[in-house]
Amino acid sequence: MQTAVIVFPASNCDRDAATALEKLTGKAPRMVWHNDPIIPDDVRFVVVPGGFSYGDYLRSGAIAANSPVIQDLKRKAEAGLPVLGICNGFQILTEARMLPGALMRNTNQKFVCRISRLRLANAKTRFTKRYDAKNEIDIPVAHHDGNFFADDDTLRRIEGNGQVVFRYVDNPNGSRNDIAGIVNEAGNVLGMMPHPERAVDKLHGGTDGIPLFKSILESL
C-alpha cells in the first residue's frame, strides 16, 4: 500500500510519520515536498505531519496552506483521498479550509508537551473503527497553538454530524468542547492535535496510535 507524507520547510515529525507508516504498511511512504505540484497517483493515504512549517510565520499553518502541494491535496481529498493532519498538519488543514474551525494559542499561554488522555467521541469513523468506544487512549501532545475554536453555529453543526472524533479527558489548551480531533463532513479528512505516530511502539511508551493507522489503512 503506497502512502505519502508531505514535507514542508521546518516540518519536524515527517520522519516519525514515515516510520509509523512503514511499520504498518511494510512500505516506505513517498516523501512529497511542499513545492511539488502533484501528489503521485499511486498514493492512497496522505499524512500532513507536525512541526513548524515556515517557522509558524503569520499564523501556524497559514503559509503552508497556500503551498502548491496543498492545492493538489485539496483536489484529491475532495475526490475521496484519505488525509490525516497531525498537530501542525491539523493547523494547515484548517487554514486550507479542508476542515472547519481554527487552532489558536493555548489559553494558558504555555507550550504543552505530555501524554494526553483522549475519549473516543466517534468510534465509527474510517479512522477510529478499530478502537473500542468505551476505552480511553493515551496519545502525546506537543503544541503551543492547539486551542480549537469554531463559532457556535459551526460547533453545533460538527457536533450534530458526529464530526468530533477525539476529546481530551483533561483539556490542556482551552479547546472548545474539549475537542482534540475532527473529521470533515465526508469523513475522509481527519485533523488532530495529539500525535498518534508517536504512540506506535512500546519504546514510545504506548501503542494507542496503532489502531488509528490500522483503521484507515484497512478501509482502503
* Catalytic residue annotation: 87, 195, 197
Number of residues in contact with another protein under rule CB under 8 A = 21
Q: Is 135 in the site for another protein (CB under 8 A)?
A: no
CB of 34 to another protein, least distance (A): 16
State which of residues 66, 124, 185, 220 lies at the interface with another protein (CB under 8 A).
Answer: 66
* Nearest residue (CB) to another protein, 131 versus 148: 148
CB of 59: closest distance to another protein in angstroms? 6
| Euclidean distance between the first and the last CA atom of the chain, given in angstroms as a whole number | 9
What whole-number distance in Å separates Cα of residue 168 and Cα of residue 166?
7
Dist. CA 46–CA 52, nearest whole Å: 18
Q: Are 216 and 126 in contact (CB under 8 A)?
A: yes
Residue (5 or 193) nearer to another protein, CB: 193
- Of 2, 25, 159, 174, the residue at the interface with another protein (CB under 8 A) is 174
Given the rule CB under 8 A, which of 38-46, 92-100, 111-119, 126-134 is the region that contacts another protein? 92-100
For residues 127 and 102, is the Cβ–Cβ distance under 8 A?
A: no
Residue with cell 497553538: 145
Site for another protein in 3-62 (CB under 8 A): 58-59, 62
Q: Which of 42, 132, 136, 151 binds another protein (CB under 8 A)?
A: 151
Q: At a CB cut-off of 8 Å and minimum separation 6, what does 202 contact? A: none
Q: Hey, what's the cell of 180? A: 482534540
- Please report whether residue 101 would count as binding another protein according to CB under 8 A: yes
Instruction: Collect all residues with Cβ–Cβ distance below 8 Å to 67 and sequence separation of at least 6.
Output: 8, 34, 35
CB of 83 within 8 A of CB of 188? Answer: yes
Is 175 an interacting residue with respect to another protein (CB under 8 A)?
no
Binding residues for another protein (CB under 8 A): 58-59, 62-63, 66, 94-95, 100-102, 104-109, 147, 149-151, 174
